[in-house]
Amino acid sequence: MLGMLGGGALAAHAYSNSQQAIPNSAYGPTLWRNETTEVLFPETVGEPPNYTHGAADKEVAQWSRMGISEDTSCSKGLSGETKQTAERLGCEAVLRATYVDLTGEMVATVAITVLPEGTAGQEMGEYFDDQEYADVPDAAVVPFAVPGTLAAKWQENRRNGMGGTALGGDQLPYAVAVTTGAVNGRTSGNLPGDFGSYGADDEDRKPWMDAGNALSESFFTHLRNLER
pLDDT mean values, one per 10 residues, the chain (228 residues): 34 35 67 93 91 87 97 95 95 97 96 91 89 80 97 95 81 91 83 42 76 93 85
Could you tell me the strand order of the sheet in which 106-114 lies?
44-45, 63-68, 93-101, 106-114, 174-182, 159-166
Which residues are paired to 101 by β-bridges? Answer: 63
Instruction: Tell me how far apart the alpha carbons of residues 198 and 133 are, in angstroms, rounded to a whole number.
Output: 13
pTM for the whole structure:
0.82
